[in-house]
Copies of this chain bind each other. A is one copy, B any other.
Amino acid sequence: MTNLKITRTTLSDGRELIYFDQPGTPDRTAPDERGLPRVETDSWMRRDPLTGEWAIYAAHRQNRTFLPPANEDPLAPTLPGQKPSEIPEANYQVVVFENRFPSLSMHQSVAVDYDPRVDGEDLFERAPALARCEVVCFTPDADGSFKDLPLERKRALIDVWAHRTAEFSAIDEVKAVFPFENRGEEIGVTLHHPHGQIYSYPFVPPRTAAIAQRAGEHREAHGTELFDDIIGAEQRAATRVIEDSEHFCVFTPAAAKWPLEVMVMAKRAVPDFAALTEKEKDDLARICHKLFAAVDHFFEGVDRTPYIAAWNQAPVDTPADGRFHLQLFSLMRSPNRMKFLAGSESGMGAWINDTTPETIAATIKEHYA
Protein backbone atom coordinates (compact mmCIF):
# COMPACT_ATOMS: atom_id res chain seq x y z
CA MET A 1 0.00 0.00 0.00
CA THR A 2 1.00 3.62 -0.07
CA ASN A 3 3.93 4.95 1.93
CA LEU A 4 2.36 8.41 2.11
CA LYS A 5 2.02 9.90 5.54
CA ILE A 6 -1.67 9.93 6.40
CA THR A 7 -3.13 12.36 8.93
CA ARG A 8 -6.79 12.13 9.81
CA THR A 9 -8.65 14.98 11.38
CA THR A 10 -12.23 16.10 11.87
CA LEU A 11 -13.58 19.44 10.72
CA SER A 12 -15.59 21.52 13.17
CA ASP A 13 -18.90 20.26 11.74
CA GLY A 14 -17.93 16.60 12.08
CA ARG A 15 -16.75 15.89 8.55
CA GLU A 16 -13.55 13.92 8.12
CA LEU A 17 -10.49 15.44 6.43
CA ILE A 18 -7.36 13.46 5.55
CA TYR A 19 -3.94 14.81 4.59
CA PHE A 20 -1.73 12.69 2.35
CA ASP A 21 1.88 13.82 2.49
CA GLN A 22 5.29 12.63 1.46
CA PRO A 23 7.13 10.87 4.33
CA GLY A 24 8.99 13.36 6.50
CA THR A 25 6.44 16.15 6.13
CA PRO A 26 5.89 18.01 9.44
CA ASP A 27 2.84 16.91 11.40
CA ARG A 28 -0.55 18.34 10.43
CA THR A 29 -2.10 19.67 13.63
CA ALA A 30 -4.03 22.84 12.78
CA PRO A 31 -7.62 22.76 14.04
CA ASP A 32 -10.67 23.96 12.09
CA GLU A 33 -11.54 27.18 13.91
CA ARG A 34 -14.76 27.96 12.07
CA GLY A 35 -17.06 26.41 14.67
CA LEU A 36 -19.52 25.20 12.02
CA PRO A 37 -22.79 23.62 13.12
CA ARG A 38 -22.80 19.84 13.04
CA VAL A 39 -23.22 18.58 9.45
CA GLU A 40 -26.49 16.85 8.72
CA THR A 41 -27.85 16.17 5.27
CA ASP A 42 -31.26 15.06 4.12
CA SER A 43 -30.88 13.55 0.68
CA TRP A 44 -32.93 10.70 -0.69
CA MET A 45 -33.00 8.43 -3.66
CA ARG A 46 -36.08 7.36 -5.54
CA ARG A 47 -36.32 4.62 -8.11
CA ASP A 48 -38.01 5.47 -11.39
CA PRO A 49 -40.66 2.76 -11.86
CA LEU A 50 -40.55 3.30 -15.65
CA THR A 51 -36.82 2.69 -16.15
CA GLY A 52 -35.64 1.12 -12.89
CA GLU A 53 -33.02 3.83 -12.41
CA TRP A 54 -32.36 5.54 -9.10
CA ALA A 55 -32.35 9.35 -9.00
CA ILE A 56 -30.77 11.23 -6.10
CA TYR A 57 -32.45 14.25 -4.49
CA ALA A 58 -30.12 16.71 -2.84
CA ALA A 59 -32.26 19.82 -2.53
CA HIS A 60 -29.80 21.40 -0.07
CA ARG A 61 -27.26 21.63 -2.91
CA GLN A 62 -29.19 24.55 -4.45
CA ASN A 63 -27.24 26.76 -2.05
CA ARG A 64 -23.76 25.45 -2.65
CA THR A 65 -20.73 27.59 -3.41
CA PHE A 66 -20.45 28.92 -6.96
CA LEU A 67 -17.26 30.38 -8.34
CA PRO A 68 -16.23 32.20 -5.17
CA PRO A 69 -13.81 35.14 -5.39
CA ALA A 70 -10.16 34.09 -5.16
CA ASN A 71 -9.83 35.20 -1.55
CA GLU A 72 -12.63 32.80 -0.61
CA ASP A 73 -11.32 29.68 -2.32
CA PRO A 74 -12.57 26.93 0.03
CA LEU A 75 -9.82 24.59 -1.21
CA ALA A 76 -6.94 26.94 -0.45
CA PRO A 77 -4.82 26.30 2.63
CA THR A 78 -5.71 28.55 5.57
CA LEU A 79 -2.96 31.15 5.78
CA PRO A 80 -2.39 32.97 9.09
CA GLY A 81 -4.70 35.97 9.39
CA GLN A 82 -6.92 34.89 6.50
CA LYS A 83 -10.49 33.70 6.56
CA PRO A 84 -10.42 29.94 7.27
CA SER A 85 -11.03 27.67 4.26
CA GLU A 86 -12.06 24.02 4.33
CA ILE A 87 -8.42 23.10 4.96
CA PRO A 88 -7.10 24.15 8.38
CA GLU A 89 -3.37 23.75 7.55
CA ALA A 90 -1.30 26.57 6.03
CA ASN A 91 -0.01 24.13 3.42
CA TYR A 92 -0.80 20.68 2.08
CA GLN A 93 0.15 18.27 -0.67
CA VAL A 94 -2.99 16.24 -1.28
CA VAL A 95 -5.96 16.49 0.99
CA VAL A 96 -9.37 14.85 0.84
CA PHE A 97 -12.43 15.69 2.88
CA GLU A 98 -16.10 14.88 3.00
CA ASN A 99 -18.05 17.19 0.71
CA ARG A 100 -19.81 20.04 2.50
CA PHE A 101 -22.75 19.93 0.08
CA PRO A 102 -22.86 16.23 -0.69
CA SER A 103 -25.26 14.46 -3.03
CA LEU A 104 -24.84 11.37 -0.90
CA SER A 105 -23.67 11.24 2.68
CA MET A 106 -23.34 9.01 5.70
CA HIS A 107 -24.41 12.00 7.84
CA GLN A 108 -28.12 11.65 7.15
CA SER A 109 -30.85 12.93 9.42
CA VAL A 110 -33.07 10.00 8.50
CA ALA A 111 -35.40 8.32 10.98
CA VAL A 112 -34.64 4.66 11.71
CA ASP A 113 -38.14 3.57 10.75
CA TYR A 114 -38.52 5.56 7.54
CA ASP A 115 -41.03 4.41 4.94
CA PRO A 116 -39.15 2.91 1.96
CA ARG A 117 -41.95 4.09 -0.33
CA VAL A 118 -42.88 7.56 -1.58
CA ASP A 119 -46.46 8.35 -0.53
CA GLY A 120 -46.82 4.79 0.73
CA GLU A 121 -46.86 3.45 -2.83
CA ASP A 122 -45.01 0.19 -3.47
CA LEU A 123 -44.14 1.30 -7.01
CA PHE A 124 -42.33 4.37 -5.73
CA GLU A 125 -39.29 2.96 -3.91
CA ARG A 126 -37.12 5.36 -1.96
CA ALA A 127 -34.15 5.17 0.37
CA PRO A 128 -31.85 7.62 2.10
CA ALA A 129 -28.88 8.51 -0.14
CA LEU A 130 -26.44 6.78 2.20
CA ALA A 131 -22.92 6.72 0.81
CA ARG A 132 -19.86 8.92 1.02
CA CYS A 133 -18.75 11.83 -1.17
CA GLU A 134 -15.32 13.40 -0.93
CA VAL A 135 -13.46 16.26 -2.49
CA VAL A 136 -9.85 15.54 -3.50
CA CYS A 137 -7.57 18.60 -3.61
CA PHE A 138 -4.72 17.93 -6.03
CA THR A 139 -2.51 20.85 -5.02
CA PRO A 140 -2.62 23.96 -2.82
CA ASP A 141 -2.02 26.04 -5.97
CA ALA A 142 -5.40 27.41 -7.08
CA ASP A 143 -4.20 28.11 -10.61
CA GLY A 144 -2.77 24.76 -11.61
CA SER A 145 -4.46 21.79 -13.15
CA PHE A 146 -4.14 18.02 -12.98
CA LYS A 147 -2.13 18.11 -16.21
CA ASP A 148 0.41 20.52 -14.70
CA LEU A 149 1.10 18.48 -11.57
CA PRO A 150 4.56 16.91 -11.42
CA LEU A 151 4.63 13.21 -12.22
CA GLU A 152 5.26 12.37 -8.55
CA ARG A 153 2.10 14.21 -7.49
CA LYS A 154 0.05 12.31 -10.07
CA ARG A 155 1.59 9.11 -8.72
CA ALA A 156 0.66 10.15 -5.18
CA LEU A 157 -2.91 10.88 -6.29
CA ILE A 158 -3.18 7.35 -7.64
CA ASP A 159 -2.18 6.12 -4.18
CA VAL A 160 -4.77 8.42 -2.65
CA TRP A 161 -7.52 7.17 -4.98
CA ALA A 162 -6.50 3.61 -4.13
CA HIS A 163 -6.65 4.36 -0.41
CA ARG A 164 -10.03 6.04 -0.66
CA THR A 165 -11.47 3.33 -2.91
CA ALA A 166 -10.49 0.69 -0.36
CA GLU A 167 -12.06 2.64 2.49
CA PHE A 168 -15.22 3.56 0.58
CA SER A 169 -15.64 -0.06 -0.50
CA ALA A 170 -15.57 -1.17 3.13
CA ILE A 171 -18.71 0.84 3.91
CA ASP A 172 -21.64 -1.59 4.02
CA GLU A 173 -23.99 0.62 2.02
CA VAL A 174 -21.55 1.34 -0.80
CA LYS A 175 -22.05 -0.69 -3.98
CA ALA A 176 -19.86 1.39 -6.33
CA VAL A 177 -17.04 3.92 -5.94
CA PHE A 178 -16.53 6.58 -8.58
CA PRO A 179 -13.54 8.97 -8.57
CA PHE A 180 -13.85 11.68 -11.19
CA GLU A 181 -12.80 15.16 -12.17
CA ASN A 182 -15.01 17.73 -13.87
CA ARG A 183 -12.91 20.38 -15.50
CA GLY A 184 -14.09 23.63 -17.06
CA GLU A 185 -16.79 26.20 -16.48
CA GLU A 186 -18.29 24.97 -19.75
CA ILE A 187 -19.48 21.87 -17.92
CA GLY A 188 -20.60 23.68 -14.79
CA VAL A 189 -17.51 23.48 -12.63
CA THR A 190 -18.13 25.70 -9.63
CA LEU A 191 -14.59 25.90 -8.26
CA HIS A 192 -11.47 26.47 -10.38
CA HIS A 193 -9.04 25.18 -7.77
CA PRO A 194 -7.72 21.87 -9.19
CA HIS A 195 -9.67 19.13 -7.53
CA GLY A 196 -11.55 15.96 -8.17
CA GLN A 197 -14.34 14.23 -6.37
CA ILE A 198 -15.12 10.74 -5.25
CA TYR A 199 -18.74 9.70 -5.24
CA SER A 200 -19.99 6.41 -4.04
CA TYR A 201 -23.45 4.98 -4.53
CA PRO A 202 -25.64 2.58 -2.57
CA PHE A 203 -26.61 1.06 -5.93
CA VAL A 204 -24.69 0.02 -9.03
CA PRO A 205 -25.04 2.98 -11.41
CA PRO A 206 -26.41 2.40 -14.93
CA ARG A 207 -23.10 2.45 -16.82
CA THR A 208 -21.41 0.09 -14.38
CA ALA A 209 -24.47 -2.18 -14.42
CA ALA A 210 -24.59 -2.26 -18.23
CA ILE A 211 -20.90 -3.17 -18.40
CA ALA A 212 -21.33 -5.89 -15.76
CA GLN A 213 -24.23 -7.36 -17.69
CA ARG A 214 -22.31 -7.37 -20.97
CA ALA A 215 -19.26 -8.92 -19.29
CA GLY A 216 -21.40 -11.73 -17.93
CA GLU A 217 -23.13 -12.36 -21.25
CA HIS A 218 -19.80 -12.36 -23.04
CA ARG A 219 -18.27 -14.83 -20.58
CA GLU A 220 -21.30 -17.07 -21.00
CA ALA A 221 -21.17 -16.91 -24.79
CA HIS A 222 -17.43 -17.05 -25.40
CA GLY A 223 -15.77 -18.27 -22.21
CA THR A 224 -13.46 -15.26 -22.33
CA GLU A 225 -13.30 -11.87 -20.65
CA LEU A 226 -15.01 -9.04 -22.57
CA PHE A 227 -12.35 -6.54 -21.49
CA ASP A 228 -9.46 -8.70 -22.72
CA ASP A 229 -11.24 -9.26 -26.01
CA ILE A 230 -11.89 -5.54 -26.48
CA ILE A 231 -8.23 -4.79 -25.86
CA GLY A 232 -7.23 -7.59 -28.23
CA ALA A 233 -9.51 -6.27 -30.97
CA GLU A 234 -8.24 -2.70 -30.51
CA GLN A 235 -4.64 -3.96 -30.68
CA ARG A 236 -5.28 -5.88 -33.90
CA ALA A 237 -7.19 -2.98 -35.48
CA ALA A 238 -4.49 -0.57 -34.24
CA THR A 239 -6.26 2.42 -35.81
CA ARG A 240 -7.41 3.87 -32.50
CA VAL A 241 -4.59 2.82 -30.16
CA ILE A 242 -2.68 5.78 -28.73
CA GLU A 243 -0.33 3.81 -26.53
CA ASP A 244 -0.09 0.13 -25.77
CA SER A 245 2.01 -0.01 -22.63
CA GLU A 246 2.99 -2.91 -20.42
CA HIS A 247 -0.01 -2.58 -18.12
CA PHE A 248 -2.57 -0.42 -19.92
CA CYS A 249 -4.06 0.03 -23.35
CA VAL A 250 -4.76 3.67 -24.25
CA PHE A 251 -7.27 3.99 -27.07
CA THR A 252 -10.29 5.77 -28.39
CA PRO A 253 -13.05 3.17 -28.21
CA ALA A 254 -14.35 1.83 -31.53
CA ALA A 255 -17.81 3.14 -30.59
CA ALA A 256 -16.81 6.35 -28.76
CA LYS A 257 -19.87 8.49 -28.16
CA TRP A 258 -18.25 11.80 -27.19
CA PRO A 259 -16.53 14.26 -29.56
CA LEU A 260 -13.33 13.69 -27.58
CA GLU A 261 -12.99 10.36 -25.84
CA VAL A 262 -10.12 8.19 -24.76
CA MET A 263 -9.97 5.12 -22.58
CA VAL A 264 -7.12 3.81 -20.46
CA MET A 265 -7.92 0.20 -19.64
CA ALA A 266 -5.99 -2.17 -17.38
CA LYS A 267 -4.70 -5.22 -19.23
CA ARG A 268 -4.94 -7.43 -16.16
CA ALA A 269 -8.22 -8.28 -14.37
CA VAL A 270 -8.00 -5.24 -12.09
CA PRO A 271 -11.36 -4.13 -10.65
CA ASP A 272 -10.29 -0.79 -9.18
CA PHE A 273 -7.54 1.57 -8.01
CA ALA A 274 -7.09 -0.43 -4.82
CA ALA A 275 -6.10 -3.56 -6.75
CA LEU A 276 -3.34 -1.92 -8.82
CA THR A 277 0.23 -3.06 -8.23
CA GLU A 278 2.97 -0.49 -7.63
CA LYS A 279 4.28 -1.04 -11.15
CA GLU A 280 0.83 -0.56 -12.63
CA LYS A 281 0.48 2.68 -10.66
CA ASP A 282 3.80 3.92 -12.01
CA ASP A 283 2.72 3.10 -15.55
CA LEU A 284 -0.65 4.80 -15.06
CA ALA A 285 0.92 7.98 -13.66
CA ARG A 286 3.23 8.18 -16.65
CA ILE A 287 0.32 7.69 -19.06
CA CYS A 288 -1.77 10.36 -17.31
CA HIS A 289 1.14 12.77 -17.53
CA LYS A 290 1.15 12.49 -21.31
CA LEU A 291 -2.54 12.00 -21.91
CA PHE A 292 -3.95 14.99 -20.02
CA ALA A 293 -1.43 17.25 -21.76
CA ALA A 294 -2.47 15.89 -25.15
CA VAL A 295 -6.14 16.46 -24.32
CA ASP A 296 -5.44 20.10 -23.51
CA HIS A 297 -4.08 20.57 -27.03
CA PHE A 298 -6.83 18.68 -28.77
CA PHE A 299 -8.64 21.74 -30.11
CA GLU A 300 -6.66 24.25 -32.07
CA GLY A 301 -6.50 27.59 -30.29
CA VAL A 302 -7.81 26.11 -27.02
CA ASP A 303 -5.26 25.42 -24.28
CA ARG A 304 -7.62 24.27 -21.60
CA THR A 305 -10.05 21.65 -22.78
CA PRO A 306 -13.11 21.13 -20.58
CA TYR A 307 -13.34 17.44 -19.72
CA ILE A 308 -14.74 14.79 -17.48
CA ALA A 309 -12.24 12.22 -16.22
CA ALA A 310 -14.36 9.25 -15.16
CA TRP A 311 -12.49 6.52 -13.31
CA ASN A 312 -14.61 3.44 -13.87
CA GLN A 313 -14.35 0.76 -11.22
CA ALA A 314 -16.06 -2.62 -10.92
CA PRO A 315 -19.08 -3.07 -8.66
CA VAL A 316 -17.87 -3.49 -5.06
CA ASP A 317 -19.70 -6.80 -4.59
CA THR A 318 -18.87 -8.38 -7.98
CA PRO A 319 -15.35 -7.21 -8.86
CA ALA A 320 -15.00 -9.76 -11.68
CA ASP A 321 -17.82 -8.04 -13.58
CA GLY A 322 -15.87 -4.88 -14.24
CA ARG A 323 -12.46 -3.69 -15.33
CA PHE A 324 -10.64 -0.66 -14.03
CA HIS A 325 -10.54 2.00 -16.75
CA LEU A 326 -10.42 5.73 -17.21
CA GLN A 327 -13.01 7.14 -19.59
CA LEU A 328 -11.72 10.62 -20.34
CA PHE A 329 -14.10 12.65 -22.46
CA SER A 330 -15.15 16.13 -23.40
CA LEU A 331 -18.42 17.71 -24.37
CA MET A 332 -16.53 20.23 -26.49
CA ARG A 333 -16.88 19.47 -30.16
CA SER A 334 -14.95 22.30 -31.75
CA PRO A 335 -12.91 25.20 -30.37
CA ASN A 336 -16.00 27.28 -29.69
CA ARG A 337 -18.85 24.81 -29.61
CA MET A 338 -20.04 22.44 -26.93
CA LYS A 339 -21.96 19.28 -27.56
CA PHE A 340 -25.41 19.67 -26.10
CA LEU A 341 -27.24 16.63 -24.91
CA ALA A 342 -30.59 17.38 -26.48
CA GLY A 343 -33.53 15.27 -27.65
CA SER A 344 -31.80 12.13 -28.83
CA GLU A 345 -29.25 11.94 -26.01
CA SER A 346 -31.20 13.34 -23.05
CA GLY A 347 -34.58 12.08 -24.18
CA MET A 348 -33.82 8.65 -25.63
CA GLY A 349 -30.27 7.89 -24.49
CA ALA A 350 -29.13 7.56 -28.12
CA TRP A 351 -25.83 9.37 -28.74
CA ILE A 352 -24.92 11.11 -31.98
CA ASN A 353 -21.31 11.93 -32.65
CA ASP A 354 -20.28 14.45 -35.30
CA THR A 355 -16.81 12.98 -35.61
CA THR A 356 -15.34 9.48 -35.78
CA PRO A 357 -13.32 7.53 -33.22
CA GLU A 358 -10.43 7.26 -35.72
CA THR A 359 -10.29 11.05 -36.12
CA ILE A 360 -10.31 11.53 -32.36
CA ALA A 361 -7.50 9.02 -31.84
CA ALA A 362 -5.39 10.55 -34.62
CA THR A 363 -5.71 14.03 -33.09
CA ILE A 364 -4.79 12.82 -29.61
CA LYS A 365 -1.81 10.94 -31.03
CA GLU A 366 -0.49 14.14 -32.63
CA HIS A 367 -0.13 15.68 -29.18
CA TYR A 368 0.72 12.58 -27.14
CA ALA A 369 4.40 12.73 -26.44
- Oligomer copy total: 2
CA distance A208 to B344 in the complex (A): 12
Question: A182, B343: Cβ atoms under 8 Å?
Answer: yes
CA distance A271 to B278 in the complex (A): 55
A214/B253 contact (C-beta < 8 A), A207-B349, A208-B348 known: no
CA distance A341 to B55 in the complex (A): 13
CA distance A124 to B230 in the complex (A): 9
With CB as the reference atom, state the residue of chain B lying closest to A119.
B237
A210/B53 contact (C-beta < 8 A), A199-B343, A308-B346, A342-B188 known: yes
A55/B255 contact (C-beta < 8 A), A214-B50, A342-B182, A342-B187 known: yes
Question: A348, B310: Cβ atoms under 8 Å?
Answer: yes
Q: Within 8 Å of chain B (Cβ to Cβ): is A327?
A: yes
Among A18-26, A148-156, A163-171, A352-360, the stretch that binds chain B is: A352-360
With CB as the reference atom, state the residue of chain B lying closest to A341.
B341
A53/B178 contact (C-beta < 8 A), A119-B237, A239-B119 known: no
- Within the complex, the shortest CB–CB distance from A173 to chain B, in Å, comes to 15
Contacts of A106 in B (CB 8 A): none
Contacts of A338 in B (CB 8 A): 188
Number of A residues with CB within 8 Å of any CB on chain B: 83
CB interface residues, A 19-70, toward B, < 8 Å: 46-59, 61-62
CA distance A308 to B340 in the complex (A): 12
A51/B214 contact (C-beta < 8 A), A310-B347, A349-B206 known: yes
A118-145 interface code vs B (CB 8 A; 1 in, 0 out): 1111111000000000000000000000
A254-276 interface code vs B (CB 8 A; 1 in, 0 out): 11110000000000000000000
CA distance A315 to B118 in the complex (A): 29
CA distance A350 to B43 in the complex (A): 14
With CB as the reference atom, state the residue of chain B lying closest to A329.
B346
CB interface residues, A 155-184, toward B, < 8 Å: 176, 178, 180-182
Contacts of A333 in B (CB 8 A): 62
CA distance A349 to B236 in the complex (A): 30
Question: B61, A354: Cβ atoms under 8 Å?
Answer: yes
Contacts of A181 in B (CB 8 A): 343
A54/B350 contact (C-beta < 8 A), A62-B334, A226-B49 known: yes
Contacts of A308 in B (CB 8 A): 342-343, 346-347
Contacts of A178 in B (CB 8 A): 343-344, 347-348
CA distance A206 to B327 in the complex (A): 20
Question: A56, B237: Cβ atoms under 8 Å?
Answer: no
CA distance A207 to B308 in the complex (A): 23
Closest 8 CB pairs between A and B? A188-B340, A206-B349, A310-B347, A119-B237, A180-B343, A205-B348, A46-B255, A48-B255
Q: List 19 A-B contacts (CB under 8 A).
A: A46-B255, A52-B213, A53-B255, A53-B257, A53-B350, A55-B256, A55-B257, A55-B353, A56-B350, A57-B352, A58-B354, A61-B354, A103-B344, A121-B254, A178-B347, A188-B339, A310-B348, A312-B347, A341-B346
